[in-house]
């Protein structure tokens, strides 16, 4: 039961290990630095400011899912397509810069956390939810 502290009590699912988190953060840092320095010579990538909020690693560290978001959320599909075109180069550069036994395969996804947060914010502002929240506040007094 040494690893029980990693288990989510409600679902029984495990979260990422410390190693996965550390390697993901190393890759995120190097990938962001490469974009900042302009190491990727692609007109679509050069024409956008791209944020890399997270990199998730599989338990065997062989697959890195890189979540990206172009500034302003514009041309998301084009940016992901450009990153996929340069995937081989990016994988090689990450392999050189991050000391791992295997160079992880890379896949790119749009980070949808901002959209989800906005959706929840809109729900919280609806009259029905406000009414329910006001009722709960009155019950406490």
pLDDT band at 138 (very low <50, low <70, confident <90, very high): low
105-110: strand order across its sheet: 50-57, 63-70, 105-110
Q: Which one, of 24, 31, 116, lies nearest residue 62 by Cα?
A: 24
What percentage of the chain reaches a pLDDT higher than 90? 51
Cβ distance 18 to 5 under 8 Å?
no
> What is the model's pLDDT at position 111?
86
Interstrand relation of 63-70 and 105-110 (parallel, antiparallel or unpaired): parallel
**Mean pLDDT for the stretch of residues 13-40:** 91
**Mean pLDDT for the stretch of residues 64-84:** 90
**Mean pLDDT for the stretch of residues 109-119:** 80
pLDDT at 14 over 90: no
Selection from 2-6, 10-14, 70-74, 103-107 with the highest mean pLDDT:
103-107
């Amino acid at each position: 039961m040494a690893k029980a502290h990693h288990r989510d009590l409600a679902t029984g699912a495990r979260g990422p290990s410390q190693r996965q988190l550390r390697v993901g953060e190393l890759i995120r840092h190097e990938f962001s630095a490469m974009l900042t320095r302009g190491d990727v010579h692609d007109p679509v990538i050069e024409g956008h400011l791209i944020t890399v909020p997270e990199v998730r690693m599989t338990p065997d560290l062989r697959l890195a899912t890189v979540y990206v978001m172009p500034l302003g959320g514009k041309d998301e599909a084009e940016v992901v397509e450009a990153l996929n075109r340069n995937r081989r180069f990016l994988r090689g550069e990450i392999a050189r810069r991050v000391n791992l036994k295997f160079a992880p395969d890379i896949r790119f996804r749009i980070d949808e956390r901002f959209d989800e947060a906005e959706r929840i914010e809109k729900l919280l502002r609806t009259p029905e939810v406000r009414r329910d929240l006001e009722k709960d506040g009155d019950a406490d007094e």
